Amino acid sequence: MRKKFVFIITHGNFGIELLKSVEMIMGEQKDATALGLRLGDSVDNLRSKAEDIITENQMANKDIIILVDILGGSPSNIALYMLKKYININLITGVNMLMLIEIFQSREVKGTDELLEKAIDSSIDGIKRYNLN
């Protein structure tokens, strides 16, 4: 089973804190990191950091799973650029907590395709409205 490196890229610090919040629930996770684009940050600088992270983990023979906040804006543009340039890159938009939990829970026992399908299904199933009124 190939190792999977989870790489979250978002506007602002939300992805960084999402990873920390999930680690608060599940414990510290290896092979995972997050980057955020803050106001005034250089997009080129973020792309360069992202590329360093990707090439380093690809040399270690890991599949890369990039999770971004939304399609549109610099985080997804950087992810799409990496998707075109490198092999074994996977991208999911719309990251939420259950998506990340599902990936961490199953990435050592599922292949990447099956894992991502499950992560998408779980994250979608977890979006529900509750209203007792």
| Residues making contact with a copy of itself (CB under 8 A) | 10-14, 16-18, 20-22, 24-25, 36, 38-39, 69-71, 73, 79-80, 83-84, 87-99, 101, 116-117, 120, 123-124, 126-133
Nearer CB in complex with a copy of itself: 1/25:
25
Q: How far apart are the first and last CA of the chain?
A: 48
Q: Which is nearer to a copy of itself, 12 or 49 (CB)?
A: 12
Q: Which is nearer to a copy of itself, 48 or 126 (CB)?
A: 126
Q: Which is nearer to a copy of itself, 11 or 62 (CB)?
A: 11
d(CA 100, CA 115): 11
Q: In the chain, how long is the greatest CA-to-CA distance?
A: 55
- C-alpha–C-alpha distance, residues 63 and 120, integer Å: 17
Q: For 78, phi and psi rounded to 5 degrees?
A: -65, -45
User: Measured from the CB of residue 105, what is the shortest distance to a copy of itself in angstroms?
Assistant: 13
